[in-house]
Amino acid sequence: MLNFDKAFDIVIGVEAGYSNDPRDPGGETNWGITIATLRQSIIDKIVPDGTTVKGLTKDQAKLIYKANYWSKIHGDEIASPLDVFAFDSSVNQGLTASVKMMQLVLKVPQTGIMDVVTVGKAKFATAWHAQVFMARRAMRYNSTRNADVYLEGWLTRLFTVTMKGL
């Protein structure tokens, strides 16, 4: 299994720097961390009070990624490359959506919660499961709001993560 540091390097490599695109529903973003995620991370004491999106450091982003995404998908317990693919999906498409796609691929109930059944199946996920997961991500991107604006970038991200995660 890939460890968190390697997965983080792959995901951060496809994340842009600071952005505040009015068409992006995530709003103000830096290192892939939205303003809403940052606010919750301050409440959760992952990063200190007063941290701003624009001032967010890469090291702070890494702490947020570990707590809010990697740990919540049980990344250390998922077979590779599904660990990296689900991690990137959680960051970019949302934790619940990522878990539901994983559950669909693993043929377990789609609760959106990374429960013991899902983790148990994900431990033994094969390359086929990982490929189908990425296909599901592509289909979801295609039906996402603002696909007309962002689809090419999202698919480029998908293929980049696929190549680096293998």
What does the pLDDT read at residue 25?
Answer: 85
Over residues 117-146, the mean pLDDT reads 97
State the DSSP H helix or E strand holding residue 38, giving kind and residue range, or none if neither: helix 35-43
Residue 42's pLDDT band (cuts 50, 70, 90): very high
pLDDT higher than threshold 50 for residue 21: yes
| Domains of the chain with CATH codes | 4-165 (1.20.141.10)
State the DSSP H helix or E strand holding residue 62, giving kind and residue range, or none if neither: helix 58-65
pLDDT higher than threshold 60 for residue 11: yes
Over residues 126-152, the mean pLDDT reads 96
**pTM for this predicted structure:** 0.95
Residue 2's pLDDT band (cuts 50, 70, 90): low
Q: Which residue has the tokens 């979801």?
A: 140
Whole-angstrom Cα distance, residue 124 to residue 75?
A: 13
Tokens representing 164 are 């680096």
